[in-house]
Amino acid sequence: MAEILVTGFEPFGGSAINPSGEAARALDGSVVNGDRALGVVLPVSWADSHGELYRAIEDVKPDVILCLGQSGRGFIALERIAINCCEGPDNEGVEGSGRPAICGAPDGLFSQLPLGCLKDAVNRAGIPAEISNSAGTYLCNYVMYGLLHYLREAGSDTLAAGFVHVPSLPRQVVTGKGRGKPSMSQDLINEAVRVMLSTLG
Amino acid sequence: MAEILVTGFEPFGGSAINPSGEAARALDGSVVNGDRALGVVLPVSWADSHGELYRAIEDVKPDVILCLGQSGRGFIALERIAINCCEGPDNEGVEGSGRPAICGAPDGLFSQLPLGCLKDAVNRAGIPAEISNSAGTYLCNYVMYGLLHYLREAGSDTLAAGFVHVPSLPRQVVTGKGRGKPSMSQDLINEAVRVMLSTLG
Amino acid sequence: MAEILVTGFEPFGGSAINPSGEAARALDGSVVNGDRALGVVLPVSWADSHGELYRAIEDVKPDVILCLGQSGRGFIALERIAINCCEGPDNEGVEGSGRPAICGAPDGLFSQLPLGCLKDAVNRAGIPAEISNSAGTYLCNYVMYGLLHYLREAGSDTLAAGFVHVPSLPRQVVTGKGRGKPSMSQDLINEAVRVMLSTLG
Amino acid sequence: MAEILVTGFEPFGGSAINPSGEAARALDGSVVNGDRALGVVLPVSWADSHGELYRAIEDVKPDVILCLGQSGRGFIALERIAINCCEGPDNEGVEGSGRPAICGAPDGLFSQLPLGCLKDAVNRAGIPAEISNSAGTYLCNYVMYGLLHYLREAGSDTLAAGFVHVPSLPRQVVTGKGRGKPSMSQDLINEAVRVMLSTLG
């Protein structure tokens, strides 16, 4: 029996909910394709998100790691690369200021997920998915970069690891900064995550 | 007890499904807020759609008429005006060619729905909705124009009537012409329609 | 020798310039295809814009009237219809509040320009142009509605009259509300206007 | 006196012109801020573009290298990172097929341009510019990757080197695949390039 780690984020930017954190919570404790899933919600914090991710990896020693975050796009976005650059204010008001995610580490790190297979599997389930060439420079990219750097440094046995952006929820695009953006319901997001985990299992 | 008529469209443009027709079907025979709803699926046909709409109105003598169609936008779009212009090929391959919807009739006809109220009600249900200033020049606009012209000519007692565009379904934006467009699940579309009918009832 | 009236708008929304007003100024006093052009800059005012437009029409008795306004789109947008609805605050802070442009007047009024011919002519000059089905509900739509209503009421001999949206200027999309929007240089906008006037002459 | 190398691309994708190649041609032989500029047009070819770029670098031994390519965006896009992945068919019909640009080389390589300074300088000239986190996976990214890898391997003395996407020309967005996309006139593109070179000189 394999171990699966799914992470999402807490809400940020004034929103009361984050569909990536909700997906991690929904998966937590469930069995996908015979494998046990642990769901963890990470803080939107330059200081703490890497530490909490690494602690979960050390506790679980997962075979599969799928990190999730919220985007403004209408499809499941399978991120190809994380970059060594941090921008924007986290939930504690700390600015990324263009600093590297990890000093002296490579400029970019490729996902360790079979992106084309995952895209096809999600699409076959009737859910829009695309491979994306940029995870941005905010906390999503930071956690993806930290994940991939940690696994390389650890010489880890993890079989598959990477980051996927999920759309905002319908209620998040009614007013405020999200208004007018595309969205996806939580049910469909959770289904897409389950399809990806089954494909990786 | 009031009578409600909800129309949607059959699939078009190579798609196997149309969420507006599915919503009309899902509502058919149900009771919303104590009112009886009839759901009708109209053909994507310059020749036949007006006739089938008028027949349904004469049969049901509805107090509320909500016509639905499919758009490429990510929100429920409450259409403000229908215009007297037809463009694009219908399901029989007949071109609109810029002809008027109804010869000698006004250039534009305003919706007879309380657009602001409906937008607020749908938004309160956590579903994105906006007032739209153009229903395009295809069959959606044509049915909206025919509806509003018929009611004016008939000196009708109908209390509320108009047209609402709903998003494409997630499975419709996986490949083909819809790829990359925003979408909304059928459940949420149907809920938005129910909220609008309750508001009008 | 025919008379041509070209109108544009003064700046609004915090901008220091309006490419539609600049185009009207650039055309003013010039001869296009043997016809004399008068350029007028209208105020962004619910109270005064109709009056100033009508005064210019009565002074010039133009054969061709081309009203211009600024949009957030990247192409020359040939507006098909003006609608009888006013929204948003003008330069004096007066709100449109959804009031009709002209009480008791029709819901919509079609342009009196040969839209397809103008689109083709502008495109042949290597400048992107499209027919648009909505001029919005702000001052642009209001002036277009006023223009078309006036000509119908006056039983006017004007041969061609309508409204065209032009893109923002590059400098207007560097920061602020326009940031990230498409743009077009003033030279190209002026050339597009000259091509349209030549086509109408 | 410093030496400047500016590269652009030949037309591709069925277009008759490429504004990046035109900008390189326009700069060729000119003196910018006291520095001599050489302009080179690279082929849209997986097989030949790196070789032609490296030959030009060896000939000129430039202090500044600015590689340009055409995008579908409306602003000057200062690319932050090139990635080791090739997709899409070149002008000879050869597919990138997801292969690495250079086998065994890093996943990503950061630009060696002062992106923030260049953005500010172009913006001060009234031209929209943004830092971009993805140069895609086509020939633009490939040339950027090859450039940055070459300079690292060569232990080069080049002071500044990187890649910038320029918008399509207005005539390229009238019909075909570009239709509806934003554009920028060649004059403005050339001015932006001159501003960037002056800033780097």
Q: What is chain D written as a DSSP string?
A: --EEEEEEE---TT-S--HHHHHHHHHTT-EETTEEEEEEEEPS-TTTHHHHHHHHHHHH--SEEEEEEE-SSSSEEEE-EEES-B-SB-TTS-B-TTB-SSTTS-SEEE-BS-HHHHHHHHHHTT--EEEES---SSHHHHHHHHHHHHHHHHT---SEEEEEEEPPPGGGGSSGGGTT--B--HHHHHHHHHHHHHHH-
- Rounded to whole angstroms, how far apart are CA atoms B186 and B193? 11
Q: What is the pLDDT of residues B3-27, one digit of tens each?
A: 999 999 999 999 999 999 999 999 9
Pull the structure tokens for residue B127.
Answer: 């579903």
Q: Which helix (H) or strand (E) holds A8?
A: strand A3-9
Please give the residue range of the domain that contains residue B130.
3-200
**Would you call C74 and D188 a contact, using CB atoms and an 8 Å cutoff?**
no
Contact (Cβ atoms closer than 8 angstroms) between residue C39 and residue C194: no
Find the closest chain B residue to A181 by CA distance. Answer: B74
Residues making up chain B, counted from first to last: 201
Q: Which residues of C touch B97 (CB under 8 A)?
A: none
The number of beta carbons lying within 10 Å of the beta carbon of residue A61 is: 11
Angle at the Cα of C100 from the Cα atoms of C99 and C101, rounded to 5 degrees: 115
Residues C95-120 as b or e (16 or more Cβ within 10 Å = b):
ebeeebbbeebbbbbbbbbbbeebbe
Whole-angstrom Cα distance, residue D167 to residue C144? Answer: 32
Q: What is the 8-class DSSP label of residue C120?
A: H
Asked whether at least 3 C-beta pairs link C and A within 8 Å, the reply is no
For A3-29, the pLDDT digits (tens) are: 999 999 999 999 999 999 999 999 999
Residues C7, C198 contacting (CB under 8 angstroms)? no
**Average pLDDT for residues A55-78, to the nearest whole number?**
97
Q: What percent of chain C has pLDDT over 70?
A: 100
Q: Which residues of B touch A130 (CB under 8 A)?
A: 180
- Separation of alpha carbons C62 and C160, rounded Å: 9
Q: Which residues of C touch B149 (CB under 8 A)?
A: none
Sequence letter at residue B105: A
Distance from CA of C17 to the nearest CA of D (A): 13
Across the range A128-154, mean pLDDT stands at 97
Distance CA A135, CA A45 (A): 17
Size of interface B-C (CB pairs under 8 A): 47
Answer yes or no: D140 catalytic: yes
Distance (Å) from the alpha carbon of A29 to chain D's nearest alpha carbon: 35
Please report which confidence band the pLDDT of residue D159 belongs to, taking 50, 70 and 90 as the band edges.
confident
pLDDT digits (tens, 9 = 90+) for A179-196: 999 999 999 999 999 999
Residue B153 CB neighbour total at 10 angstroms:
10
**B chain contacts of residue A188, beta-carbon cutoff 8 Å:** 170, 185
Q: How many domains does chain B have?
A: 1
As a whole number, mean pLDDT of residues C178-185 equals 96
For D170, the closest of C127, C130, C169 (CB atoms) is C127
Q: Are B80 and B110 in contact (CB under 8 A)?
A: yes
Selecting among C22, C79, C86, C149, the annotated active-site residue is: C79
Per-residue confidence band for C19, with pLDDT thresholds at 50, 70 and 90: very high
Q: For D65-107, how does the pLDDT look when each residue is reduced to its tens digit (9 = 90+)? A: 999 999 999 999 999 999 999 999 999 999 999 999 999 999 9
pLDDT for position C62: 96
Q: With left for phi above 0 and alpha for psi between -120 and 50, is residue D74 left, alpha or beta?
A: alpha
Helix-helix angle A49-60:A139-154, to 10 degrees: 40
Return the pLDDT at C189.
98
Q: Are A161 and A153 in contact (CB under 8 A)?
A: no
Q: Do C170 and D130 touch (CB under 8 A)?
A: no
CATH of the domain at A113: 3.40.630.20
Interface pTM (ipTM) of the complex?
A: 0.96
Mean pLDDT over all residues of chain C?
96
Cβ atoms of residues D166 and D68 within 8 Å: yes
pLDDT at position B197: 97
The one-letter code for the residue type at C68 is L
Q: What is the pLDDT of residue B30?
A: 95
Q: Does residue C128 carry a pLDDT above 80?
A: yes
pLDDT, mean over chain D: 96
Average pLDDT rounded to a whole number, residues C13-31: 96
Q: Does D147 touch chain A (CB under 8 A)?
A: no
Q: pLDDT category, D157, cuts 50, 70, 90?
A: confident
**Range C82-106 average pLDDT:** 98
Give percent of chain D above pLDDT 90: 94
Which of A33 and A59 is assigned the larger pLDDT? A59
With beta carbons less than 8 A apart as the criterion, state whether C148 and C82 touch: yes
**Does D84 contact A134 at a Cβ distance shorter than 8 Å?**
no
Q: Hey, of A71, A81, A85, A144, which one would you mutate to test binding to chain D, going by the most D CBs within 10 A of its CB?
A: A81
Nearest CB to A126 within list B171, B180, B181: B171
- Residues of chain C neighbouring D182 (CB-CB closer than 8 A): 74, 181-183
Residue-wise pLDDT for A83-138, tens only, equals 999 999 999 999 999 999 999 999 999 999 999 999 999 999 999 999 999 999 99
From first to last of its 201 residues, what are the pLDDT tens digits of chain B?
789 999 999 999 999 999 999 999 999 999 998 999 999 999 999 999 999 999 999 999 999 999 999 999 999 999 999 999 999 999 999 999 999 999 999 999 999 999 999 999 999 999 999 999 999 999 999 999 999 999 999 988 788 999 999 999 999 999 999 999 999 999 999 999 999 999 998
Q: What pLDDT was estimated at residue B159?
A: 86
Give per-residue pLDDT as tens, D35-65.
999 999 999 999 999 999 999 999 999 999 9
Collapse the DSSP code of C168 into the 3-class scheme (helix H, G, I; strand E, B; otherwise coil) and give the result.
coil
Using CA atoms, how far apart are residues C132 and C118, in angstroms rounded to an integer?
12
Structure tokens belonging to residue C7: 């109108």
Rg of chain C over all Cα atoms, to the nearest angstrom:
15
Q: Is D152 part of the contact surface with chain A (CB cutoff 8 Å)? A: no
The tokens for A153 are 């440094």
pLDDT of D156 above 90: no
A36 touches chain D (CB under 8 A): no
